[in-house]
Amino acid sequence: MSLLLNEIGNGIFLGAFFGLVALGYSMVYGILRLINFAHGDFYMVAAFVSYTILGAVLVGNSHGQWLTVLWVGVLVMVITGGLAMLANQLVYRPMRRAAILSLMIAAIGLSQVLENGVLVTPQWGATYLVFPVTTPPSGFNLGSNHYTWAQLIIVLVSGLLALGVYFLVGRTLLGKAMRAVSEDRIAAVLMGINVDLVIAIVFFIGGALAGAAAVMTGVYYGQINYLMGFTVGLEAFTAAVLGGIGNIGGAVLGGLVLGIVQSIGTGIFGAEWAIVVAFGALVLMLWFRPTGLLGERVARRM
Amino acid sequence: MIITKFKARILTSGLLVATMLTVVAGASGGPASATAKKSPPYLVGVPMPMTGAEAQAGTQIFNAELMAVQQVNKHGGIFGHPIKLLEQDDACDAGTAVNAANKLISEGVQAIVGGYCSGATLPVEPIIARAGIPYVMPAANSPELTTGGYKNVFLIDPSGSGDGAEAAAFFKQQGITKVFIIDDQSSFGVAIANAAAADITKDGGTVVAGGVQSIPATSNDFSAVISQIKNSGATGIYWSGYFSQAAQFATQLNAANVIGPNGTAKFVVADGSVDATYLSGAGAAANGTYATIAALASGVGNVLNTHADQAFNVAYHKEFKSAPGPYSTFGYDAITALVLAARHVKSIKPGRVIAGLRSLHFNGLTGKVSFDKTGNRLGAVMDLLEVVNGQYTLANPQPKL
């Protein structure tokens, strides 16, 4: 029983990352019906950017480094958001009238460009880079599990960011515009909504969230690699589908469920079965609820 | 999953261009003076992970091979034939490796000197055997590699079965009977994990959690596994996989108070995890952890930073502006072995070179090089390393086998 509780705790932590990245997938899908396969690579680029910035500003500065991580994190969120916006402007916007399949292939192409771009960039390349910051092992015990303060902070930050997006989309005028574009783009144009701007903002938010997840990954796990975006992208995409793609709450819930199912799967069957259990759960879920966990709101996506 | 496959294919073709660029750069950077002679070049194929997660080690080995080739060509090549390396990316992936080997053979290579990931070398063995050319592997060392009965296979890195035996001996020496074994699902990792499990059971220990566990090589989160370890009451943890995950595993085990100042368990890793990135990645958490590696590997190759290491390290650094990896010297010796074998039999005919490799004896950067009937490196002795203050040191005392 205590193993089960511990694994749920581990799963919530894991799910916090999945949820943040899944939000970006879900929002872009909600507004463009596009599965943005390059999204995991925005996350990867963000990790490298934060590695470089942190390496530059942390030289000989061990005091107040958490404040530095905070502002670098915010800066990287803005940079990654900008990168996602730029990608939208250069790749997706010229293809707005193209078939959705062409867009998806463009997304895969963009993902290759980003991965190989990082591969050939001096100082980045194919090696594992070790982050200049590490989290201290101090923390608290819950059940028989030891959690570090860093883990708690990561879960709280992820929760706050997700809550922020939830309110932005649900309660603000901008959010209303997003929902309008998601439901009917042409009608939204006729209502005087600047559709291109709204889409650009959605890309910015998705990129910024991936940026936040990347900085936290780098700081907590300590290592980054130019292929790290692929796995995370796949897991986050799964989380988004599990929760009901296009749905904000669904992305977060899907992330948490996926994290918990994987951890419990590891605890009971062993780590080699974790992914089998997770995808088995996904298949079962889609069997009974093809629209995902929160899929009943399919008519009001976003 | 279709998308994944599709993506992988695009990745491969996209990277082919990158690989070709590297080959061109390598060729133009090589010594042009040796080609003054009229003899056609002796083509050597080098399949190595140049992209993907293991690209770092692949590049470090390939660079060392380039260094060896430059030396040989400066001294007249093999009876006037300058050596030319043809590089192919195997991406540490079985499918890509098969394509790479076929491509190299169709380009007419006279020998293959490459291989880091055992999973990418195993499926290639029969292809190269059919071509009848020598296959010298610098760093792949799964015990399965020499059980196929191929006459043309030679392993410069001693077979990994020694890792498992050494780890089992260490746990016995420490009085640890409950051991948690986990691998990374790679051919190298699984083979060594199973060998270790057999040795530990033979020594009277127990492999907890119902047997050897596996985690995908892409995972960076070990929290669920760590809960499993705590639940099992294991006091020995054995990781059989590569260095990047080893660093993350050690860090998380330390944070969970399983190892380190507040923990009681001992963490041991197999030789794929011996790397400077393990030390920097795990930081303080690496202290007090152990690794097993062939004594030849730890003596030279900047792991222990001995005197002999430094001359090679300086030359390597001058050439490539970066530090060599633990397996760089193995790449250097692999080329040397091939050249000396050809010189010994006074022929570059593949069949003759294979015979030459079989009877080869020389002192390389990694120590005495000679092979047994199956192609395994002879005289392999294992070292147990302990990390002290962020540096690899020889553990004292060494466990008795």
Instruction: Answer yes or no: is B43 within a domain.
Output: yes
Task: Compare CB distances from A223 to B223, B230, B248 and report the shortest one's residue.
Answer: B248
- Tens digits of residue pLDDT in A164-211: 999 999 999 999 999 999 989 999 999 999 999 999 999 999 999 999
Instruction: Quote the pLDDT of residue A1.
Output: 65
Q: What is the mean pLDDT of residues B249-271?
A: 92
Same domain? For B149 and B205 the reply is no
Instruction: Quote the pLDDT of residue B137.
Output: 95
Q: How far is B36 from chain A (nearest CA, A)?
A: 33
- ipTM of the shown complex: 0.82
For residue A45, give the nearest of A118, A108, A130, A112 by alpha carbon. Answer: A118
Q: What is the mean pLDDT of residues A226-249?
A: 90
Instruction: Quote the pLDDT of residue B186.
Output: 84
- Does the beta-carbon distance from A270 to B209 stay under 8 Å? yes
Task: Compare CB distances from A116 to B3, B18, B283 and report the shortest one's residue.
Answer: B18
For residue B305, the tally of other CB atoms under 10 A from its CB is: 11
Contact A293, A282 (CB under 8 A): no
A143 backbone φψ class: left, alpha, beta (φ>0; ψ -120 to 50): left
Residues of A in contact with B7 (CB under 8 A): 37, 108, 111, 230
Lowest mean pLDDT: which of A55-64, B204-213, B229-238, B280-289?
A: A55-64
- Does the beta-carbon distance from B11 to A275 stay under 8 Å? no
Supply φ then ψ for residue A92, to 5 degrees. -85, -35
Same domain? For B204 and B344 the reply is no
Q: How far is B52 from chain A (nearest CA, A)?
A: 7
- Does the beta-carbon distance from B224 to A7 stay under 8 Å? yes
Q: Which alpha helices (H) appear in B94-160, and where do they start and end?
A: 94-106, 118-121, 125-131
Query: What range defines the domain where residue B178 resides?
Result: 161-300+382-394
Q: Is B27 on the interface with A (CB under 8 A)?
A: no
Nearest CA in chain A to B210: A270
- Does the beta-carbon distance from A111 to B18 stay under 8 Å? no
Based on the structure, what is the number of domains in chain A? 1
Contact A11, A239 (CB under 8 A): no
Instruction: Quote the pLDDT of residue B297.
Output: 61
Q: Is B15 on the interface with A (CB under 8 A)?
A: yes
d(C-alpha A84, C-alpha B360), whole Å: 58
Instruction: Answer yes or no: is B222 within a domain.
Output: yes
Same domain? For B68 and B20 the reply is yes
Helix, coil or strand: residue B373: coil
Instruction: Quote the pLDDT of residue A65.
Output: 79
Q: How far is CA A107 from CA A37, A118, B4, B328, in A?
A: 5, 17, 13, 38
pLDDT beyond 80 at B308: no
Q: pTM of the prediction?
A: 0.79
The CATH number of the domain holding residue A221 is: 1.10.3470
For residue B392, give the nearest of B247, B281, B286 by alpha carbon. Answer: B286
Based on the structure, what is the number of domains in chain B? 2
Helix, coil or strand: residue B377: strand
Same domain? For B141 and B182 the reply is no
Contact B176, B236 (CB under 8 A): yes
Instruction: Quote the pLDDT of residue B22.
Output: 34
Instruction: Answer yes or no: is B201 within a domain.
Output: yes
Same domain? For B242 and B390 the reply is yes
Q: Which alpha helices (H) appear in B283-368, and where do they start and end?
A: 295-299, 307-320, 328-345, 350-358
Task: Please name the helix (run of DSSP H) or strand (run of DSSP E) that holds residue A42, with its range, or none.
Answer: helix A39-57
The CATH number of the domain holding residue B251 is: 3.40.50.2300
Q: What is the mean pLDDT of residues B104-128?
A: 93
Q: How far is CA A57 from CA A64, B157, B283, B320, in A?
A: 12, 42, 20, 28
Instruction: Quote the pLDDT of residue B365.
Output: 83
The three state secondary structure string of B76-113 is: CCECCECEEEEEEECCCCHHHHHHHHHHHHHCCCCEEE
Contact A144, A71 (CB under 8 A): no
Contact A128, A47 (CB under 8 A): no
Residues of A in contact with B219 (CB under 8 A): 231, 271
Instruction: Answer yes or no: is B400 within a domain.
Output: no
- Does the beta-carbon distance from B6 to A225 stay under 8 Å? no
pLDDT beyond 80 at B368: yes
Instruction: Answer yes or no: is B166 within a domain.
Output: yes
- Does the beta-carbon distance from B256 to A225 stay under 8 Å? no
Q: How far is CA B373 from CA A96, B151, B364, B368, B376, in A?
A: 64, 8, 20, 16, 7
Lowest mean pLDDT: which of A27-41, A93-107, B23-37?
A: B23-37
Instruction: Answer yes or no: is B308 within a domain.
Output: no
- Does the beta-carbon distance from A222 to B52 stay under 8 Å? no
Q: How far is B51 from chain A (nearest CA, A)?
A: 7
Instruction: Answer yes or no: is B141 within a domain.
Output: yes
- Does the beta-carbon distance from A128 to B15 stay under 8 Å? no
Contact B277, B283 (CB under 8 A): no
Q: Express as a percent the part of chain B with pLDDT over 70.
A: 87
Q: How far is A176 from chain B (nearest CA, A)?
A: 33
Average pLDDT taken over every residue of chain B = 84
For residue B294, give the nearest of B391, B381, B397, B164 by alpha carbon. Answer: B381
Helix, coil or strand: residue B387: strand
Q: Is B11 on the interface with A (CB under 8 A)?
A: yes
Nearest CA in chain B to A109: B10
Contacts of B363 (CB under 8 A, 6+ apart): B369
- Does the beta-carbon distance from A112 to B14 stay under 8 Å? yes
Supply φ then ψ for residue B89, to 5 degrees. -80, 125
Q: What would the DSSP string read from start to end of A61-126? A: --TTHHHHHHHHHHHHHHHHHHHHHHHIIIIIGGGTTS-HHHHHHHHHHHHHHHHHHHHHSTTTTT
Q: How far is B228 from chain A (nearest CA, A)?
A: 6
Same domain? For B192 and B335 the reply is no
Instruction: Quote the pLDDT of residue B20.
Output: 32
| Cis status, amide bond into B397, omega within 30 of 0 | yes
Same domain? For B295 and B333 the reply is no
Residues of B in contact with A7 (CB under 8 A): 224, 227
For residue B199, give the nearest of B138, B249, B268 by alpha carbon. Answer: B268
Query: What range defines the domain where residue A21 resides?
Result: 2-300
CB pairs under 8 A between A and B: 135
Residues of B in contact with A223 (CB under 8 A): 220, 244, 247-248, 277, 281
Instruction: Quote the pLDDT of residue A122.
Output: 86
Contact A31, A96 (CB under 8 A): no
Instruction: Quote the pLDDT of residue B7.
Output: 42
pLDDT beyond 50 at B13: no
pLDDT beyond 70 at B16: no
d(C-alpha A14, C-alpha A271), whole Å: 14
- Tens digits of residue pLDDT in B157-191: 888 778 888 999 999 999 999 999 999 988 888 98
- Tens digits of residue pLDDT in A45-68: 999 999 999 988 887 555 567 888
Same domain? For B148 and B233 the reply is no
Q: How far is B131 from chain A (nearest CA, A)?
A: 32
Give the total residue count for chain A: 302
Tell me the residue type at B312.
F
pLDDT beyond 60 at A296: no
Same domain? For B192 and B257 the reply is yes
For residue A87, the tally of other CB atoms under 10 A from its CB is: 24
The three state secondary structure string of A262-298 is: HHHHHHHHCHHHHHHHHHHHHHHHHHHCCCCCCHHHH
d(C-alpha B303, C-alpha B109), whole Å: 33
Q: Which has more pLDDT, A2 or A236?
A: A236
- Does the beta-carbon distance from B248 to A230 stay under 8 Å? no
Interface of B with A in 154-173 (CB under 8 A): none
Q: Express as a percent the part of chain A with pLDDT over 90.
A: 62
CA torsion angle A264 A268 A273 A276 (round to 10)? -50
Supply φ then ψ for residue B112, to 5 degrees. -120, 125
- Tens digits of residue pLDDT in A261-292: 999 999 888 888 888 898 898 899 888 888 88
Same domain? For B153 and B175 the reply is no
Instruction: Quote the pLDDT of residue A272.
Output: 86
Same domain? For B283 and B253 the reply is yes
Same domain? For B143 and B9 the reply is yes
d(C-alpha B217, C-alpha B186), whole Å: 7
pLDDT beyond 80 at A302: no
Average pLDDT taken over every residue of chain A = 90
